[in-house]
Chain A
């Protein structure tokens, strides 16, 4: 578990907004190098690791994806006063941005998104949500020239959040950090690769640009042309206490194990793969949960439409507060996801893929 935590920490703290995943790719490569047979990087930057199966031929070709990119920002203008205008890369709730610390560009320059001063705002203005266009990043430059010495239009930025351990109880080991969507998935995939060879041929792709439209997975699925595909995600978790008279199911719950997607906006999970996941969980006594249907989208949305169609499913680690400066997850869920995927890939046969 400590190993998994260390791996997640490395991945979480790496700088990797959509379109600039280099640093994450380097860490992934270091982590899995000795555990796989071959590593390629395609023209979009997807890292494609191949690990041959130990089973008899013909072996199924299974694609596993976890995206390396995180939501972030791009500098769009350096203003005369030295402040930087920016646009989000991927989906970010603007209400989360005021007063946050960022790192910018190759040199990891420190910057902050300023916040309105409450004392100086009156009436309605004090209650209005600040528009993205009215925000700016302050790097402390005196003017445009000073700023241009340090940053340029097009530079990427991410939240500066560091990784922390919140609780070390074996029953509730939680951590906090940025980009758990989807460094959690990357951690699961890397951990899976470090285990013993599975019966099936594995194409483990650490993808790019999921947050701007599932872009990396699309070309990776075309190239690999697998028999089946699983997307590994860090997904929505909204399990805070609700009013006592409310009778509802949270999207997912921390600590309830890997979350299976029945249906979201991008895919209806393949029934055979769903049954296989359920059976594998039951056989190995792994508690699972179901993500509330109809929310969000994942790489299964594009992998299932590759070529003439590919049976696909998504398995996720619940993470509170994704797409913000920091998320919280339970390492037991992460570990259980690794176990579930291992168990599933030991059992998968062509029968599971039929309709």
Chain B
């Protein structure tokens, strides 16, 4: 699973520009689904037909990560940018970025800002690719980049700027792998969504199109196991898959959550209960599509979310996979 994680983490895919990561995932799931298609928003929709008599289930993990879009290339070759998705100014100075074509850049802060005394704004930063002039720069207005470098594994821990939500994508691919040839009654739509970071847009379209009987999003969540965590949050790295009671955009379907909790207990899968203040997932968009869908999310706890050194514990990803596969192997009554 680590190799899979590395491949997915190192594929380029900023919100709205997910071609490369979609291609990589498509290769990874080759042979694991009955039909694969791409919709108008660029969502990758893999359909695995069940034996019948089950539910129509949607799992969603988003392929996109936050990034930066070039808004101006100056005469000296420095590039100004705007954010794609939520980018902390605090976590940007000195960050390394990589463009879709592989060009590497560093994020500098210009002389108008005074970083020792006040937090600069994104407008004070620039991307520096080491060019001497505008003519030497291959990028232009509209070029997109993401934080870099990519993936490192250390013990059980993965480091990568985009574990939100490549960790969820890993869990979903791994789930499909585990299900290969398994006798499952339910029809499963494994959707690798786009543009989650800019407003759950891919999931909005996919939820509407697929009309599932129930949906589970796979994403990361924060942890409360750092020094002086505030507000308190009872989720920690390595303590299992988090079952989302609620976040700021969605209240998890109580019966669906109860089923997942009972299942985790019965199977001895480590789990935690999650209340996230600030932040939401694709599940929110699917829950309010059409006449409503019973939905919840399973989260991989993560530290340093939306910074270049995001971390997860792979055991939590494994727990998520175990819970998803166990869930699919049984009839579901809500």
A and B touch in the complex (CB under 8 A): yes
Contacting residues, chain B, for A295 (C-beta < 8 A): 82
Q: Is A311 a contact partner of B40 (Cβ separation < 8 A)? A: yes
Bound complex: CA A263 to CA B16 (Å): 9
Contacting residues, chain A, for B198 (C-beta < 8 A): 268
Interface centre among A247, A248, A262, A293, by most chain B C-beta atoms within 10 angstroms, is A293
State which of A247, A268, A294 has its C-beta within 8 Å of the C-beta of B71.
A294
Q: Is A292 a contact partner of B209 (Cβ separation < 8 A)? A: no
Q: Is B40 a contact partner of A355 (Cβ separation < 8 A)? A: yes
Contacting residues, chain B, for A247 (C-beta < 8 A): 72, 74-76
What is the number of contacts between chain A and chain B, taking CB atoms within 8 Å?
73
> Digit string of B176-201 for contact with A (CB within 8 Å is 1, else 0)?
00000000000000000001001001
Contacting residues, chain A, for B1 (C-beta < 8 A): none
Q: Of all chain B residues, which has the CB nearest A250?
A: B72
Question: Counting CB contacts under 8 A, is A249 at the interface?
Answer: yes
Q: Is B40 a contact partner of A353 (Cβ separation < 8 A)? A: yes
State which of B42, B141, B206 has its C-beta within 8 Å of the C-beta of A249.
B141
Q: Is B80 a contact partner of A248 (Cβ separation < 8 A)? A: yes
Question: Counting CB contacts under 8 A, is A308 at the interface?
Answer: yes
Question: Counting CB contacts under 8 A, is B160 at the interface?
Answer: no
Bound complex: CA A247 to CA B134 (Å): 12
Contacting residues, chain B, for A353 (C-beta < 8 A): 40
Q: Is B40 a contact partner of A293 (Cβ separation < 8 A)? A: no
Q: Is B42 a contact partner of A293 (Cβ separation < 8 A)? A: no
Q: Is A305 a contact partner of B201 (Cβ separation < 8 A)? A: yes
Q: How far is the CB of A62 from chain B (nearest CB, A)?
A: 14
State which of B41, B71, B80, B83 has its C-beta within 8 Å of the C-beta of A309.
B41
Q: Of all chain A residues, which has the CB nearest B122?
A: A294
Q: Is A268 a contact partner of B74 (Cβ separation < 8 A)? A: no
Q: How far is the CB of A221 from chain B (nearest CB, A)?
A: 12
Q: Is B141 a contact partner of A293 (Cβ separation < 8 A)? A: yes
Question: Counting CB contacts under 8 A, is A304 at the interface?
Answer: yes
Bound complex: CA A77 to CA B17 (Å): 49
Contacting residues, chain A, for B195 (C-beta < 8 A): 268
Contacting residues, chain B, for A293 (C-beta < 8 A): 69, 71, 82, 141-142
Question: Counting CB contacts under 8 A, is A307 at the interface?
Answer: yes
Contacting residues, chain A, for B206 (C-beta < 8 A): 308-309
Within 8 A of A (CB), among B188-242: 195, 198, 201, 204-206, 208-209
State which of A268, A290, A294, A310 has its C-beta within 8 Å of the C-beta of B40.
A310
> Digit string of B33-52 for contact with A (CB within 8 Å is 1, else 0)?
00000111111000000000
Within 8 A of A (CB), among B101-150: 141-142
Q: How far is the CB of B152 from chain A (nearest CB, A)?
A: 30
Contacting residues, chain A, for B321 (C-beta < 8 A): none
Contacting residues, chain A, for B205 (C-beta < 8 A): 305, 307-309
A248-B80, A293-B69 known; A355 and B39 CB under 8 Å? yes
> Digit string of A280-317 for contact with B (CB within 8 Å is 1, else 0)?
00000000001011110000000011011111000000
Q: How far is the CB of A247 from chain B (nearest CB, A)?
A: 4
Q: Is B39 a contact partner of A309 (Cβ separation < 8 A)? A: yes
Q: Of all chain B residues, which has the CB nearest A251?
A: B71
> Digit string of B5-43 for contact with A (CB within 8 Å is 1, else 0)?
000000000011100000000000000000000111111
Bound complex: CA A293 to CA B42 (Å): 20
Question: Counting CB contacts under 8 A, is B312 at the interface?
Answer: no
Q: Of all chain A residues, which has the CB nearest B142?
A: A262
Q: How far is the CB of A7 from chain B (nearest CB, A)?
A: 32
Contacting residues, chain A, for B141 (C-beta < 8 A): 249, 262, 290, 292-293
Bound complex: CA A231 to CA B73 (Å): 27
Q: How far is the CB of B219 from chain A (nearest CB, A)?
A: 19
Q: How far is the CB of B285 from chain A (nearest CB, A)?
A: 9
Contacting residues, chain A, for B209 (C-beta < 8 A): 307-309
A268-B15, A294-B83 known; A304 and B69 CB under 8 Å? no
Bound complex: CA A353 to CA B38 (Å): 12
Q: Is B72 a contact partner of A248 (Cβ separation < 8 A)? A: yes
Question: Counting CB contacts under 8 A, is B305 at the interface?
Answer: no
Q: Is B204 a contact partner of A305 (Cβ separation < 8 A)? A: yes
Question: Counting CB contacts under 8 A, is B84 at the interface?
Answer: yes
Q: Of all chain A residues, which has the CB nearest B39?
A: A309
Bound complex: CA A247 to CA B76 (Å): 9
State which of A249, A304, A309, A311 has its C-beta within 8 Å of the C-beta of B72.
A249
Contacting residues, chain B, for A355 (C-beta < 8 A): 38-40, 42
Bound complex: CA A293 to CA B67 (Å): 13
Q: Is B39 a contact partner of A268 (Cβ separation < 8 A)? A: no
A294-B82, A355-B38, A355-B42 known; A308 and B72 CB under 8 Å? no
Contacting residues, chain A, for B42 (C-beta < 8 A): 355
Q: Of all chain B residues, which has the CB nearest A301?
A: B199
Q: How far is the CB of A99 from chain B (nearest CB, A)?
A: 32
Q: Is A307 a contact partner of B82 (Cβ separation < 8 A)? A: no
Q: Is A307 a contact partner of B208 (Cβ separation < 8 A)? A: yes
Contacting residues, chain A, for B74 (C-beta < 8 A): 247-248
Bound complex: CA A273 to CA B172 (Å): 31
Bound complex: CA A308 to CA B80 (Å): 34
Interface centre among B71, B72, B76, by most chain A C-beta atoms within 10 angstroms, is B71
Q: Is A290 a contact partner of B41 (Cβ separation < 8 A)? A: no
Q: How far is the CB of B69 from chain A (nearest CB, A)?
A: 5
Bound complex: CA A60 to CA B201 (Å): 24
Bound complex: CA A247 to CA B112 (Å): 13
Contacting residues, chain A, for B75 (C-beta < 8 A): 247
Q: How far is the CB of A227 from chain B (nearest CB, A)?
A: 9
Bound complex: CA A295 to CA B84 (Å): 11
Interface centre among A263, A268, A270, by most chain B C-beta atoms within 10 angstroms, is A268
> Digit string of A219-238 for contact with B (CB within 8 Å is 1, else 0)?
00000000000000000000
Q: How far is the CB of B134 from chain A (nearest CB, A)?
A: 10
Q: Is A263 a contact partner of B84 (Cβ separation < 8 A)? A: yes
Q: Is B40 a contact partner of A262 (Cβ separation < 8 A)? A: no
Q: How far is the CB of B87 from chain A (nearest CB, A)?
A: 11
Q: How far is the CB of A157 from chain B (nearest CB, A)?
A: 33
Given A307-B208, A308-B208, 7 additional A-B pairs, CB 8 A: A248-B74, A263-B69, A268-B84, A293-B82, A305-B201, A355-B38, A355-B39
Closest 4 CB pairs of A and B: A268-B16, A294-B82, A309-B205, A308-B209
Can you list 14 contacts pairing A with B, beta carbon distance less than 8 Å? A248-B80, A262-B142, A263-B69, A292-B82, A293-B71, A293-B82, A293-B142, A294-B84, A295-B82, A305-B201, A308-B39, A309-B43, A355-B39, A355-B40
